[in-house]
Homo-oligomer: A and B are copies of this chain.
Amino acid sequence: MEKLNALRKMLKRRGIDALLVTQPENRRYLSRYSAIDSSIAESSGVLLIPRRGTPLLLTDSRFELHAVAEAEGFEIMLYPKGLLPLLQKLLPKLGVKRLGFESHYLLHATAGKLTALASKLGIELVPLVGLIEKMRLRKEAGEIAGIEKSVLLNEQVFQEVFATLRAGQSEREVAMRIENTMLGMGAERPSFATIVAGGPNGAAPHAVPGTRPLREGEPIVIDMGLVLDGYCSDMTRTVVLGAPDQKTVELFRLVRRAQLAATNVIRAGITGREADRAAREVISAAGLGDRFGHGLGHGVGLAVHEAPSLNRRNGKKLQSGMIITVEPGVYLPGWGGIRLENMGVVEENGCRILNRDTTFLDV
């Protein structure tokens, strides 16, 4: 309700009578309705938030029970013939003259149909970008607690699987065991496709786990996250079976120093660019700046990738209550990669790291 009220104030300020919410995490943020969209073309429902009166969740009969069970305070309406015919009836009844929509989560073709409908009804359409995302940037205490739970469960899963990691297991087999353990321990689902990349495969930051067996001595990148009560976690550890060689140890220490350097500067008021630079300088000083080809981190919340970005392009200041990843990496084609990723809360005076797992962090 608080969130809805805050949103309504923003609508009022913009002279918008109702907002159509199509973005799935925004929908969940406002309504608690947790259904998953298999793609943007297969939506499990949209919210229609009038500036006054009962908010609506519009969906189809397949999701009715789910919607009724979760979207407390919302009126559930079904669209047996699709969304637009329902809007055609609903918008005039609600007296909507200016309708906001999420330009960053509506297909061009759908927007075209909505425009035709609006003009028929004499309604003005107002494209909005990132309005609710902006509300989601700074997390409330309850959200931070939820994210922390997600982080800690993810670590438990990691530790359980790490304890059984052996040379000869394939990347794919380990990734499957990680995802099964997540579900077995109560996660809703993985927050992204788990990465397990051994040796040379680790040189691609977004490696897809394959049939290659893990070997002793090589760096193994494990990047994993889960969704718990809607909130995501995201963690990377690079581990070695048996003894790491000197090169590996040196690169580990380099990446860890970069991570700590960034963690030490992150606080409310510094920019995403400054945070990124703190890590990048450490890696560049070792002559490997061009082997750290991605940004330092990203926000995490209901989405596993959300604002703010910690990279060279983001000149905006971090704010307290933001949750971010700190994940520098070094990737050497033919050899492999090392990436270390923790999540932290941006606070007035620093960055409170949510992770407790220290596996291979201090080789």
Q: Which residues of A contact B (CB under 8 A)?
A: 36, 38-42, 61-66, 81, 101, 103-112, 127, 129, 172, 176, 180, 183-184, 192-193, 203-206, 208, 293-294, 305, 313
Contacts and interface: CB of A to CB of B under 8 A. Distances in A.
Given A106-B107, A108-B111, A206 B62 contact: yes
A63 B206 contact: yes
10 contacts: A36-B193, A38-B192, A62-B294, A63-B206, A65-B203, A66-B208, A105-B107, A109-B129, A176-B180, A180-B180
Contacts of A111: 108, 111
Nearest to A25: B39
A104 B203 CA distance: 35
Contacts of A40: 39-40, 105
A37 to B, nearest CB: 9
Given A36-B193, A38-B192, 7 more contacts: A39-B40, A62-B206, A63-B206, A66-B204, A81-B313, A104-B109, A107-B107
Contact of A108 (B66, B108, B293): B108
Nearest to A112: B103
Contacts of A81: 313
Contacts of A127: 108-109, 112
A109 B38 CA distance: 21
A105 B107 CA distance: 6
B112 A65 contact: no
A104 B108 CA distance: 6
A112 B101 CA distance: 14
Nearest to A172: B183
Given A40-B39, A180-B176, A65 B204 contact: yes
A172 to B, nearest CB: 7
A305 B43 CA distance: 13
B176 A104 contact: no
B107 A104 contact: yes
A205 B41 CA distance: 19
B108 A62 contact: no
